Structure 1
Amino acid sequence: MGTPGDNFRVVAGRYRLEARLGRGGMGIVWRATDQLLGRQVAVKEIAQDDSLSEEEARRQRDRTLREARAVAQLRHPHIIVVHDVVEQDEQPYIVMELLDGGSLADRISTRGPVDAAEAARIGVALLGALRTAHAAGVLHRDIKPANVLLGTASDEADSERVVLTDFGIAQVVGATTLTESGAFVGSPEYTAPERMSGLGTGPASDLWSLGALLCTILSGESPFRRDSLGGILHAVVFDEIRPPDEARPLLPVVRGLLERDPERRLEAAEAERMLRAFLDTGRTPARASASTSASGRTPKLTSRRTAKPAPGYTPTQRDVPRGQSVPSPSTPVPSPTPAATAEQPPRRSTRGVLVAALLVAAMAGAGVSAAALLLRGDGDGGVAKGASPVSSAPLTSTSAGTSPSPSRTPSATPSATARTPNTPTAPSGYRLAHDPDGFSLAVPEDFVRVPQGERIFYMSPGETFRLGIKMSDPETGGPLAVMKSAAAKGADTNPGYHDGKVTDTTHYGHPAALWEFSWNGFSTAEGPRHTYDMCWEEGGRMYDVWVSAPVGKVREAKEYFDVALDTFARA
């Protein structure tokens, strides 16, 4: 908390800004005094984008004021009270009630996770707030622990009060987004997959965020937390969803809220009924009307894709470890298991990778997308003549000098789905390389083609990432035999080779194998590396695509690998 200075700034001739309470992406929050009514208030000074033209800035101010006034009309005991919306010197300010209790995030940070009963109480309060907002056509779009306040006023009732605040990026249904400037807004760990996938937002998106919040306050960490933005996007849209053990008492609610398909997601009224039942009985009932699959069974929570492939795309087995099969685009992806052998993660469409790339570029302000592919060269990968291939293993979490944890490898389900002709296009941050050797694929814009005999490489500056491609005649035993042979020679071609794994799979119905391993790199300066390699037979030819990268950049590399496989096409 800031310290009041001698010279206070007065806004709109009435609100004296006395101390800065905090700062976020949407602006600065001040402790202030309403000099007209003689009461303490909180004033949010909305941040302005200096890069906007004068006309764009004016439109943004108008949207801010219009939608903030809509939020001010909301009346609910668990929604922050907005007293006033003012403008001074073309700067918008939102005047709100002042609560000194701190946020739910502060509580978790200082006192640890809450128990199931407290989580249920908080959930009921927030569901009531959201139902009121949604009925008024207002979407919050940034539900997270930091935006939930716990009142600590002198009276006992207020000390128990749960308050949803910071509607700073709220959206009025049918209106232009409050913070619309071409950038994504929100907190990735709590953002619904349909928003990540560019499929729009609605009340169900806020309910997904509440599900993630419940997991966080019960365990102390969001189930979608990863060590990079790209990793978070992947976790939200594609990875297995594993609610923490602490969420078990409320699991039917958590699972219902974290349903990837918004049409199947638990509705607010039903979620509130279930949480109230838990508070009354100590047991959470099953949802009254769970959506069911064609088989009549409720689909599993994990790995359901909501984004459809972009026109002209056919998803490929980029995420599938060698030795695993690829689900058809129309078949729900099976739930992952912890096992690391012969398992297949849910495949993503190129549209999904494109969306992740666009989001990262928008959110991080970077010129490259989140998708990054692991490359293999001599010693890095490629099944030809002693080179070790890299598998298209699932996205895994790693730290420097360690191989990815097998616990994140999802399960495989065989599929005979054949690849259909497609006309791939490059995601944001990529270019479609039409290689003179008779194939095409999307590679990052700064990757350079480097032919090496039978292999073609596309390398990043400094060769940090090495993407390799090789085409050859089929060999006896098929891809699995070729990859196993290469793995047996892994120590000869890859210094310090370890944790190698070859799995049998299919690639759109074609025989395939995936090889994943770690090694020490070609020099001390280069350092430990990790490689993914996919080999398959198609149309009387054998294809091999691999990516190699430093172990500390496995997530980025895996995304490069995924995009390469997703867009690979024969000439």
Structure 2
Amino acid sequence: MSTRMVAGRYRLLGELGRGGMGVVWRARDEVLGREVAIKEVRAPDGLDDHEVRRLYARLEVEGRAAARVDHPNVITVYDVAMAQGSPWIVMELVRGLSLSDILDADGALTPRRAAEISGRVLAALRVAHERGVLHRDVKPGNVLIGNDGRIVLTDFGIAVIEGTSALTRTGEVVGSPEYLAPERALGRPTGPESDLWSLGVLLYVAVEGGSPFRRDTALNTLRAVVDEPLPEPRHAGPLAPVIAGLLRKEPAERMTGPDAQRLLDAAAAGRRSYPPTVALPPSPPPAPLASTTVAMDAAAPPRPRRAALAVAAGILALALALAAAGLTWALLRDNTSGASSANAPSSAAPTTSAPTTTSPTTSASPRTIPPPALHLTVLVSATRDTYTGPCPPPDSAAPSFTAVITVSRTPATVTYRWHTNLSTTSDPAWKTAHFAAGDPTSRTITHTELSSPADYNPSTDWIAVDVKQPLTLQSNHVPFTVTCESPSPSPSASSPSASPTA
């Protein structure tokens, strides 16, 4: 028997899973004499001691919040034990398979079975939302189907740690971008509606056998989540209205939990039910200045476009299976294979009339093919987001940031500047990034913020990138903190002069 003990009571028996954020163990609680699952959390590489402590403190709080959710379809969190300086999340051990395992092995589910599973997941979410706990990583890998038939949603409250921009320093996004709600991808406030979106994607995957938004790169996947229409499901049957209602881009237009529950329960029981007519209003086009990705095509009539990708760089997901860790942003050109025919340039060749012997040779004017629409994405992340010391901060210690500017095609010219909220940035000048024909479509820029608002100490601010050409937009906001301290007086300055001896 293993001799390794955690917190003096949990004896580790063997690994259940491993990923970028740690290991899940099967363990025995020697105090209560029962087997449990225990998650050993490990901070990602690249964080300093302060960031690691902040991450672990947040995880401990989230784990204890998850323990408040008591529902048969929610994994039970027994304890959050601190050992070796890091949190260990102690949960019930559920023997069975994940929904992702079942889909991989058997393919898509029938609408009735998908409704049964999704209805239980929704019931769990609604109870958690009532207690103020968001899941933030609903996906098939976090849904367990027990050997006894019980359906359990895992990783409540500990799946995503938001608001810590330094956690993106390693360039990792752990989790599945295809299940991310548009408002989270855009850095907007999130709530229960974001979990409902993820449930809608899970339901689509369950009946169709594949994700509606997955693309060749993480960036293209998130762009599809935010900006592309939902492909019509072909095998959803009575679940089609639920999927359409949950996958509305705007949270306020999304189908509510009670309405979705009624439709899912009816489908699981084989009954016919009808969606609420008020849950699916048409989406109005957003204001142009709110857009982060804009299609520019002078030859085509204007059409509504949704605000597209400005990913809030501070998203960190922990999955019970601990898979998909270390997904690196591949900031490549647009995924044209996933574009709709309405956005693709025409492939018809210019035509001319055939010459004849009875009339002068004539030819039709060649048809002008417009260039493809230009999409522009700006993603900002922090390299260093805190400073404590004398102000203004020195270059070597001040908050610093990177931004990746990605265009869908070249040539292109982008005019941009850095922008903070509380004060004028230390580098307010407009700059230009030129993308010549044939150049890579992504470019990284850097910035060190040397300003420190005098009226706030400590000051918690955010920084973003403004773009004014070829379109007007602002990137995601990345928070940072500056704490100004007076330098310690030198001993000679603080000590009175020695008196001469008598």
Q: Same fold (TM over 0.5)?
A: yes
**Alignment match, 1:524:** none
Q: Structure 1 residue aligned with 2:72, among 58, 63, 77? A: 77
Change (3 A) 1:85 1:179: farther
**Alignment match, 1:299:** 282
Contact 2:332 2:441 in 1 (8 A): no
Please give the alpha-carbon distance, in whole angstroms, between the structure 1 residues aligned to 2:314 and 2:52.
Answer: 23
**Alignment match, 1:211:** 200
**Alignment match, 1:220:** 209
Provide the alpha-carbon RMSD of the alignment.
4.0
The alignment status of 1:89 with 2:84, answered yes or no, reads: yes
**Alignment match, 1:285:** 274
**Alignment match, 2:300:** 324
Contact 1:43 1:93 in 2 (8 A): yes
The alignment status of 1:441 with 2:414, answered yes or no, reads: yes
Please give the alpha-carbon distance, in whole angstroms, between the structure 2 residues aligned to 1:88 and 1:360.
Answer: 25
Could you say what secondary structure the match of 1:198 adopts? coil
1:138-177 equivalences in 2 (<5 Å): 138-152=133-147, 159-167=148-156, 169-170=158-159, 177=162
Change (3 A) 1:25 1:268: farther
The alignment status of 1:238 with 2:227, answered yes or no, reads: yes
Q: Structure 2 residue aligned with 1:396, among 313, 333, 336? A: 336
Please give the alpha-carbon distance, in whole angstroms, between the structure 2 residues aligned to 1:10 and 1:253.
Answer: 47
Counterpart code for 1:44: K
Contact 2:133 2:157 in 1 (8 A): no
Change (3 A) 1:179 1:140: farther
Contact 2:134 2:157 in 1 (8 A): no
**Alignment match, 2:116:** 121
Could you say what secondary structure the match of 2:12 adopts? strand
**Alignment match, 1:21:** 16
**Alignment match, 2:60:** 65
Change (3 A) 1:63 1:305: farther
The alignment status of 1:36 with 2:62, answered yes or no, reads: no
Change (3 A) 1:146 1:305: farther
**Alignment match, 1:540:** none
Please give the alpha-carbon distance, in whole angstroms, between the structure 1 residues aligned to 2:177 and 2:61.
Answer: 26
Of stretches 143-152 and 24-33 in structure 1, the one that deviates more from structure 2 is: 24-33
Deviations 1:289-332 (A, max 9, x none): 325xxxxxx316xxx766x5557x897543x4x642123xxxxx
Could you say what secondary structure the match of 2:124 adopts? helix
Contact 1:127 1:272 in 2 (8 A): yes
Contact 2:113 2:268 in 1 (8 A): no
The alignment status of 1:429 with 2:404, answered yes or no, reads: yes
How many angstroms does 1:566 deviate by?
Answer: 3.3
How many angstroms does 1:259 deviate by?
Answer: 0.7
Please give the alpha-carbon distance, in whole angstroms, between the structure 1 residues aligned to 2:121 and 2:230.
Answer: 22
Unaligned runs of 5+ in 1: 1-5, 153-158, 292-297, 328-332, 334-346, 374-394, 399-403, 412-423, 433-438, 450-456, 468-561
Change (3 A) 1:239 1:38: same
Please give the alpha-carbon distance, in whole angstroms, between the structure 1 residues aligned to 2:6 and 2:292.
Answer: 56
1:358-437 equivalences in 2 (<5 Å): 370=331, 372=333, 396-397=336-337, 406=341, 428-430=403-405
Contact 1:188 1:232 in 2 (8 A): yes
Deviations 1:65-84 (A, max 9, x none): 12201101110000001111
1:537-552 equivalences in 2 (<5 Å): none
How many angstroms does 1:49 deviate by?
Answer: 3.2
Change (3 A) 1:76 1:563: farther
Contact 1:87 1:93 in 2 (8 A): yes
Change (3 A) 1:231 1:357: farther
How many angstroms does 1:228 deviate by?
Answer: 1.1
Contact 2:178 2:221 in 1 (8 A): yes
Could you say what secondary structure the match of 2:250 adopts? coil
State TM-score, norm by structure 2.
0.64
Please give the alpha-carbon distance, in whole angstroms, between the structure 1 residues aligned to 2:137 and 2:275.
Answer: 27
Contact 1:63 1:178 in 2 (8 A): no
How many angstroms does 1:53 deviate by?
Answer: 2.8
Counterpart code for 1:430: I
Could you say what secondary structure the match of 2:183 adopts? helix
Change (3 A) 1:125 1:360: closer
Contact 2:135 2:158 in 1 (8 A): yes
Deviations 1:453-482 (A, max 9, x none): xxxx6256xx45699xxxxxxxxxxxxxxx
Please give the alpha-carbon distance, in whole angstroms, between the structure 2 residues aligned to 1:81 and 1:466.
Answer: 44
Deviations 1:222-251 (A, max 9, x none): 111111112201110111211421123211
Contact 1:79 1:129 in 2 (8 A): yes
Please give the alpha-carbon distance, in whole angstroms, between the structure 2 residues aligned to 1:87 and 1:166.
Answer: 18
1:246-261 equivalences in 2 (<5 Å): 246-261=235-250
Unaligned runs of 5+ in 2: 318-325, 347-375, 380-402, 417-431, 444-466, 474-502
How many angstroms does 1:182 deviate by?
Answer: 4.5
Contact 2:100 2:140 in 1 (8 A): yes
Q: Which has the higher relative contact order, 1 or 2, with Cα contacts under 8 A spaced 6 or more apart?
A: 2
**Alignment match, 2:493:** none
Contact 2:108 2:206 in 1 (8 A): yes
Please give the alpha-carbon distance, in whole angstroms, between the structure 2 residues aligned to 1:145 and 1:426.
Answer: 30
Q: Kindly indicate which of the two structures has a greater share of residues assigned to helix.
A: 1
Please give the alpha-carbon distance, in whole angstroms, between the structure 2 residues aligned to 1:429 and 1:196.
Answer: 15
State TM-score, norm by structure 1.
0.57
Deviations 1:345-365 (A, max 9, x none): xx355xx34x14968999855
Q: Structure 1 residue aligned with 2:95, among 90, 94, 100? A: 100
Please give the alpha-carbon distance, in whole angstroms, between the structure 2 residues aligned to 1:115 and 1:563.
Answer: 49
Contact 1:45 1:92 in 2 (8 A): yes
Contact 1:234 1:356 in 2 (8 A): no
Please give the alpha-carbon distance, in whole angstroms, between the structure 1 residues aligned to 2:55 and 2:221.
Answer: 29
Please give the alpha-carbon distance, in whole angstroms, between the structure 2 residues aligned to 1:99 and 1:466.
Answer: 45
Q: Structure 1 residue aligned with 2:130, among 135, 140, 158? A: 135
**Alignment match, 1:112:** 107
Please give the alpha-carbon distance, in whole angstroms, between the structure 2 residues aligned to 1:178 and 1:287.
Answer: 35
Q: Structure 1 residue aligned with 2:186, among 165, 178, 197? A: 197
The alignment status of 1:566 with 2:468, answered yes or no, reads: no
How many angstroms does 1:128 deviate by?
Answer: 0.8
Counterpart code for 1:233: L
Please give the alpha-carbon distance, in whole angstroms, between the structure 2 residues aligned to 1:290 and 1:254.
Answer: 12
How many angstroms does 1:48 deviate by?
Answer: 1.4
**Alignment match, 2:355:** none
Could you say what secondary structure the match of 1:139 adopts? coil
**Alignment match, 2:447:** none
Please give the alpha-carbon distance, in whole angstroms, between the structure 1 residues aligned to 2:60 and 2:203.
Answer: 31
Of stretches 224-233 and 134-143 in structure 1, the one that deviates more from structure 2 is: 224-233
Change (3 A) 1:357 1:186: same
Contact 1:250 1:284 in 2 (8 A): no
Change (3 A) 1:197 1:68: same
Q: Structure 2 residue aligned with 1:276, among 249, 253, 265? A: 265
